[in-house]
């Protein structure tokens, strides 16, 4: 089940400058494992020592923050789009 993942600028060095990649996974946790297989170094950037998504990384499934869904357990399916976006300031 390919899921489209939008890669933020700071991580595009790992994906040979591609801003979107496809991976096959059933949930966000697996998706990160798959990203790491294809683009080594990815997991370290996205997750802290305990394996959880870092607090300054926002992951969205089709526009919705996964913290409003089931966090890392959030299921993904064919055709979904996942965006990884650093936290940004406001006003």
Partner 1 sequence: MSYMLGLKCRECDREYPKEALYVCEYCFGSLEVSYDYKALAKKVTRKTIEAGPKSLWRYRDLLPIDGEPAAGYYSGFTPLVKADILGKELGVKELYVKDDSVCHPTCSFKDRVVAVALSRARELKFDTVACASTGNLANAVAAHAAWAGFKRFIFIPANLEIAKIVGTLVYSPNLIAVDGNYDDVNRLCAEIAAKYRWGFVNINIRAYYAEGSKTLGFEIAEQLGWKAPAHIVAPAASGSLVTKIWKSLKEFDKLGLLEGELRTKVHLAQAEGCSPIATAFLGNHDAIKPVKPSTIAKSLAIGNPADGYYAIDVLKQSGGTAGIVSDDEIREGIKLLARTEGIFTETAGGVTVAVAKKLIDEGKIPSDESIVLAITGNGMKTQEAIREAVGKPIHIAPSLSSFEAEVLKAGCKL
Ligand X SMILES: Cc1ncc(COP(=O)(O)O)c(C=O)c1O
Per CB under 6 A, residues contacting ligand X are 90-91
In whole angstroms, how close is the CB of 89 to ligand X at the nearest point? 7
In whole angstroms, how close is the CB of 55 to ligand X at the nearest point? 17
Distance CA 38, CA 75 (A): 20
Residue 32 interacts with which of ligand X, partner 1, none, CB < 5 to 8 Å by class: none
**19 and 83 in contact (C-beta within 8 Å)?**
no
CB of 50 or CB of 89, closer to ligand X: 89
**31 and 72 in contact (C-beta within 8 Å)?**
no
């Amino acid at each position: 089940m390919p899921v489209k993942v939008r890669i933020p600028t700071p991580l595009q060095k790992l994906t040979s400058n591609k801003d979107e990649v496809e991976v096959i996974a059933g949930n966000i946790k697996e998706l990160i494992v798959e990203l790491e297989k294809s683009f080594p170094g990815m997991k370290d950037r996205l997750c802290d020592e305990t394996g959880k998504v870092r607090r300054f990384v926002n992951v969205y499934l089709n526009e919705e923050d996964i913290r409003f869904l089931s966090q890392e357990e959030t299921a993904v399916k064919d055709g979904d789009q996942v965006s990884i976006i650093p936290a940004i300031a406001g006003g």
